[in-house]
Amino acid sequence: MFKGSIVALITPMREDGSLDEPAVARFAEWQIAQGSQGLVPAGTTGESPTLTHAEHQRVIEIVVEAADGRVPVIAGAGSNSTAEAISLVSHARRAGADGVMVVTPYYNKPSQEGLFLHYSAIADAADLPLIIYNIPSRSVIDMSVETMARLARHPNIVGVKDATANLSRPLHTRRACGEDFVQLSGEDHTVVPFLAAGGHGCISVTANVAPRQCAAIHQAWTDGRVADAIALQDELVVLHDAMFCESNPGPVKFGASLLGHTSDHCRLPLAPISEAARARVRAAMTETRLLN
């Protein structure tokens, strides 16, 4: 259903911080042309916490229109309010998205039972494939494999974006949820070992600036060229490091600005990245032949 190199899209903005709708469409088109196998608009890399609801919805509509069925669009639709998440998922369905990604509720710190009830209510309310986004480093809470297995029984809950960086997790998840439960890495550094542990793909930040290279890793793996996949991943380590040298999406948005796709503007409370970070991003993009 969802597999390969899927990009967690930045949201292009003008220098004044306003949404750049034409750039959103052009960026989605470029990603598809470069080989990305799926698009995730309005996730946290897309600055969903600081998009208005109208902007959030518009970004999804633009990306769905640009994709035009060529690759799946998994709309960001998470919230720490269950009712708000249901509203976002309902809009994504109306907009024509192929699925939704719903992050574990931040700040509230629900119990495992609360997580189960939250996702069950969302999945019951909207008829779209739902990807659970488990990212303890940002949400504080960690969905257990046992809770995920309970949720995997719901026909609309089809997989997980796993940003735990715990490479034993996909092994246990596959055992508990079955081989058809879609497992997508949320950590660019772990792509090849995650695939080896039973993963199906990656929702990538780095693919915003290196979509062709990220897609090539997955193609090599699919073709059985394991050594090539490892070599390609090794080449990108310096770039992955740079993309996370400060809070995401600051570095990757600066990188995308160097390629001419957007300004480097991120909305407060994200500050402009430091000069040292800028130099590091530029150097990594030069080393990986993204810049001359």
The count of structural domains within the chain is 1
- As a whole number of angstroms, the distance between CA 193 and CA 25 comes to 33
The CATH number of residue 103's host domain is 3.20.20.70
Residue 98 located in a structural domain: yes
pTM (2 d.p.): 0.97
Alpha carbon separation from 135 to 18, 139, 213 (Å, rounded): 28, 6, 25
Residue 199 located in a structural domain: yes
| 107 included as an active-site residue | no
pLDDT of the residue at 126: 83
Catalytic residue selected from 3, 119, 133, 253:
133
**Ramachandran angles phi, psi of 142, nearest 5°:** -125, 120
pLDDT of the residue at 86: 97
- Is the bond preceding 251 in cis, omega lying within 30 degrees of 0? no
Residue 127 located in a structural domain: yes
Residue 16 located in a structural domain: yes
For residue 180, give its domain range.
Answer: 4-209
pLDDT of the residue at 234: 97
**pLDDT tens readout for residues 67-94:** 999 999 999 999 999 999 999 999 999 9
**pLDDT tens readout for residues 179-206:** 999 999 999 999 999 999 999 999 999 9
Residue 52 located in a structural domain: yes
Residue 266 located in a structural domain: no
Total Cβ atoms within 10 A of residue 267 = 12
pLDDT of the residue at 93: 97
Catalytic residue selected from 3, 106, 119, 161:
161
- Is the bond preceding 249 in cis, omega lying within 30 degrees of 0? yes
Residue 277 located in a structural domain: no
| 3 included as an active-site residue | no
Residue 264 located in a structural domain: no
Average pLDDT, consecutive stretches of 10 residues, N- to C-terminus, the chain (292 residues)? 96 98 98 98 97 98 98 97 97 98 96 98 94 95 98 98 96 97 97 97 98 98 98 98 98 98 98 98 98 93
